[in-house]
Amino acid sequence: METSLNKYISETGFCSRREADNYIEQGRVTINGNIASKGNRVGDNDVVHIDDEILKKRKSSAIYIMLNKPKGVTCTTDQKDKTNIIDYINFKKRIFPVGRLDKRSEGLIFLTDDGDIVNKILRAGNHHEKEYVVTVDKTISTDFIQKMRSGVRILNTVTQPCFVKQEGTHRFRIVLTQGLNRQIRRMCEALGYNVESLKRTRIMNINLNGLASGKWRYFTPDELTTIHSMVSDSSKTADGQDGMDE
């Protein structure tokens, strides 16, 4: 039975479908010794390599962990990037991050080898909440809070209405269900503010409570059950969106 190349790669636990597409575009993926193209399909007898590594289907139980990512770590599986999250976490089996958290940002990110759940979580339109605490470079005005709540024009669109609460003269909390590229930073910049620190504190039903910066833990059985329930009716991904961007 044949499957799409990016799905095949994600199911081996090497990386997400999106990052698989990046490897394919860079000419780093081969099928039976031939350079692969996006849209290729592979069967059970095909041999797939990324760089010099042969990819094999995962046989053991899936891994689900959460990391409190510190600043300076890049959410990529590409080990040519010396700040990549894979070398940082140094897990005994191959895993990959679910979505992105900017190198300058910190906080909660999931890692797994389950390509199916990654695809479901990342699918746009599922309205999965991500909560952030943000500090900006100058005093926050009432007008700023209202505009952040109602929508800001960035990337040729207007952001969806969202929950925003001021928590200090320079700090606010925001809950997003969108995943536009560098969304919070772009929203602030559009209103004349620069982000000095950004921390993701919650994704869906999971928060950072009790997890120190740089540390990770496995999902609890209850957390995993709830997440599987929340993504059970996931719809297809809309082009250009990623439900776990920041």
- Is there a contact between 12 and 53 (Cβ–Cβ < 8 Å)? no
Q: Which amino acid is at 139?
A: T
Burial (CB count within 10 angstroms: exposed 0-12, middle 13-18, buried 19+), residue 192: exposed
The C-alpha R_g of the chain, in whole angstroms, comes to 19
Residues in the chain: 246
Q: How far apart are CA 67 and CA 44, in angstroms?
A: 34
Q: How far apart are CA 148 and CA 161, in angstroms?
A: 8
Known catalytic membership, residue 102? yes
Q: Helix (H) and strand (E) counts for the chain?
A: 7, 17
Tokens of 56: 């094999």
Selected catalytic residue, list 21, 51, 102, 137: 102
Tokens of 127: 């309205």
Q: How far apart are CA 45 and CA 34, in angstroms?
A: 15
Q: Is 235 helix (H, G, I), strand (E, B) or coil?
A: coil
Provide the CA 17 distance to its chain's centre, in angstroms: 12
Residues serving a catalytic function are: 102
